[in-house]
Structure 1
Amino acid sequence: MTVYNGPVFEMAAKQFEVIADYLSIPEDERGRLLMPKRAVAVSCPIHRDDGTTAVFEGYRVQHHLTLGPTKGGTRFAASVDLGEVAALAIWMSWKCALVGLPYGGAKGGISVDPSSLSRRELEALSRRYMQEMIPFVGPHTDVMAPDMGTNEQIMAWFMDTYSMYQGQTVAEIVTGKPVSAGGTLGRREATGRGVAHLVSRAADELRMRLNGATAAVQGFGNVGSITALELHNKGVKVVAVSDHTGALHRPAGLDIPRLVEHAASRGSLEGYSKEHGLDAEDLLSLPCDVLVPAAVERVIDAKLASNLRCRILAEGANGPTTPEADQVLERRREEIFLIPDILCNSGGVVVSYFEWVQDLQRLFWEEEEVMRREYQVLDRAFDQVSARSKRDNVFNRTAAMAIGVERVRGAKETRGLFP
Structure 2
Amino acid sequence: MRYDLVIRSRRAVLPDGERPAAVAVRDGRVAAITPYDAPLPASAETRLGDTALLPGLVDTHVHINEPGRTEWEGFATATRAAASGGVTTLVDMPLNSLPPTVTPSALALKRAAAEGALFVDVGFWGGAVPGNRLYLRALHDAGVFGFKCFTSDSGVPEFPPLGAARMREAFQEIASFGGLVIVHAEDPADLRAPSGGSYGEFLASRPPSAERRAVERVIALAAETGVRAHILHLSAADCLDPLARAQADGLPVSAETCPHYLTLCADDVPGPSATSYKCCPPIRDAANRDALWRGLETGVVSCVVTDHSPCVPELKRGDFATAWGGVSSLQLGLPAVWTEARSRGRSLASVVRWMAEGPAALAALPKGRIAVGRDADLVAFDPEADFTVDAASLHHRHPVTPYEGRTLSGVVQATWLRGTRAGDAPIGRPLARTETR
Q: Under a length normalisation based on structure 2, what TM-score does the superposition of the two structures give?
A: 0.31
Between the two structures, name the one with larger relative contact order (CA 8 Å, sep ≥ 6). Answer: 2
Write 1 or 2 for the structure with the bigger share of helix.
1
Q: Under a length normalisation based on structure 1, what TM-score does the superposition of the two structures give?
A: 0.32
